[in-house]
Structure 1
Amino acid sequence: MTHLVFICGHAGTGKTTLAKKLLGPLMKASATPFCLLDKDTLYGGYSAAAMAMLTGDSNDRDSPLFLQHLRDPEYRGLLDTARDNLELGVSALVVGPLSREVRERRLFDRAWLGVGTDVTLRVVWVFTSEEMARQRILARANPNDAYKLAHWDEYRQRRFEPSGDIRDDLLMFDNTAPASADYEALLARIVGEPRAATLMPPVPV
């Protein structure tokens, strides 16, 4: 059986770092080969070239033009690549914000994803406080974040924390200051039962 695992969340929550930390343990725990599919790695260069041609700003990833014309094709390509790997018997760890898809519950819709019941499906929502996310974005100094930081009040309107029915089967992971036990608990939930879980690491003193 193959696994399709989504690592989702807003910018600055540490999605890619978490995915890379989980990849080896996931392969060992599931006895299955995994590929890591990070949206920014797969499509960053293409989108930079497209935005440079369209607007002159190769680092734009948050303007209305990008969101209307390039966001969805990026995600479609990401899912197509995941399906190709699944068909070859390779599980996929998919990294991207995917906030709209989480809010609309599309990542649990096997017909929309194009995967069968033979694929184990898990969706992890990575979160931290807005201020911590902003500080992490500032610290990483990625030019792709320039628009977001310059229009923070606009961007923050797109931020949300899943609640109510949206959280059903969603694996919530607080990435503020996770300890080893928190990573182990998340790993167990990914390879085990899909009940919703919120991992709340202790606050450092």
Structure 2
Amino acid sequence: MKHLLFFCGHAGTGKTTLARRLFAPLSRAAGEPFCLLDKDTLYGPYSAAAIGALTGDPHDRDSPRFIEHFRDPEYRSLMNTAAENLSLGTSVIVVAPLTREVRSGRLFERAWLGIGDDVAIRVVWVHTAEAVARERILARADPNDAYKLAHWDEYRQRLFVPDDTLARTLVMVDNTAPSDQADADLLARLIETG
């Protein structure tokens, strides 16, 4: 059984750090190879060049203009890359916010994902308190966060917390205080076959 694991959530929740920390243990526990597809690694430099040519600001990653022109093509390409790896027999870990897709349930639509029934899907929603996320964003000092920080009140209005019904379809992870036990518990949930 191949696995497609999504690590989703808002900026500063630690989804990339968590996915990287679990990468080797997941491969060992599942007994199969994985690849890690991080949206920012795959498309960050290209999108920076494109949005920079359009607006003059290569770090514009949260403005309405970026969202209108670049968000969906980045995610479509990310899903296509995941599907291609899965078709070649490699399980995939995807790291990206994917908030719209989580909210709509798209990440469970096999036709939209381009995958078959031989792939187990798990969607991990990584979350933490807003103040903790903002601290982490400030600490990492990534220029791509400049718009978000300069327009924090506007940005925070886009944040959402999955309601109880949606949360039951997700693997919810409070990443405020990571621990070895929390990682072990999450690992077990991600590779179960049910």
TM-score by length of structure 2 reads 0.98
Q: Deviations over 1:117-174 (max 9, x none)?
A: 1001100000000010000000000000000000000100111111132113200001
Q: Deviations over 1:45-96 (max 9, x none)?
A: 0010001100000000000010011000000010100011001100000000
Q: Does 1:70 align with 2:70?
A: yes
| 1:71 maps to amino acid | R
How do residues 150-165 of structure 1 correspond to structure 2 at under 5 angstroms? 150-165=150-165
Q: Distance in 1 between matches of 2:3 and 2:154?
A: 36
Q: Does 1:49 align with 2:49?
A: yes
SS at match of 2:19: helix
SS at match of 2:177: coil
Q: Is residue 120–residue 193 contact of structure 2 (8 Å, CA) maintained in 1? A: no
More helix by share: 2
Q: Distance in 2 between matches of 1:159 and 1:137?
A: 15
Q: Distance in 2 between matches of 1:174 and 1:183?
A: 11
Q: Which residue of 2 aligns with 1:33?
A: 33
Q: Which residue of 1 aligns with 2:190?
A: 190
How do residues 122-161 of structure 1 correspond to structure 2 at under 5 angstroms? 122-161=122-161
TM-superposed deviation, 1:193: 5.2
- Tell me the percent identity: 64
Q: Which range moves more in the overlay, 113-122 or 161-170?
A: 161-170
| 2:137 maps to amino acid | I
1:165–1:193 Cα change, 3 Å: farther
Q: Distance in 2 between matches of 1:193 and 1:83?
A: 19
SS at match of 1:70: helix
- Structure 1 runs (4+) deviating above 3 angstroms are none
Q: Which residue of 2 aligns with 1:120?
A: 120
Count of residues in correspondence between the two structures: 194
Q: Distance in 2 between matches of 1:108 and 1:173?
A: 18
Q: Which residue of 1 aligns with 2:167?
A: 167
Point out where structure 2 has 5 or more consecutive residues left out of the alignment: none
Q: Distance in 2 between matches of 1:90 and 1:177?
A: 31
Q: Which residue of 2 aligns with 1:105?
A: 105
Q: Distance in 2 between matches of 1:132 and 1:31?
A: 35
Q: Distance in 1 between matches of 2:175 and 2:31?
A: 26
Cα RMSD after superposing both structures? 0.9
Q: Distance in 1 between matches of 2:186 and 2:193?
A: 11
TM-superposed deviation, 1:34: 0.3
| 2:114 maps to amino acid | G
